Amino acid sequence: MNEQQQAKESNAQASPVKNKVGSIFIPVRDIEKSRSWYCQVLGLNEDDCKIMNGHLCPLPMEGTGIILDTMPKWGGDQPGGAPSIETPAFMLMTEDLRSSLDYMKKIGVELVTEIEHDHWFVVKDPDGNKLMICRE
């Protein structure tokens, strides 16, 4: 084993950072409007999604968490708010892709794509964040 390989292994073993995602932050402009939208899309009760400190709204998820955030520290205090997610950064899962697409259309969600490769489609939230819905 050469020195470079040994250094890589030593660094990987020494890292205290876990191989685990805690939560994903989604930048939003209107925390209440976004909470309503995400609750409708995910079938959540708004009463279970409390707004904290005036700018955070953790959503009760299975697995990795989602936190809606007006991001006052990261551009949310500027005109136009924090930048939207232009490329889907994560997937929301479904067992029934066609029904999920039909539901999004029924509730008026802006579609970016139709079903692609019989596996996924992309929508926009009210702030223009692109979200991928993917077959589980």
Domains in the chain, CATH or no CATH each: 23-135 (3.10.180.10)
CA distance 108 to 8: 49
CA distance 53 to 55: 6
Q: Is 26 left (phi over 0), alpha (psi -120 to 50) or beta?
A: beta
> Would you write out the chain's pLDDT as a tens digit for each of its 136 residues?
677 666 666 655 789 999 999 999 999 999 999 999 999 999 999 999 999 999 999 999 999 999 999 999 999 999 989 999 999 999 999 999 999 999 999 999 999 999 999 999 999 999 999 999 999 9
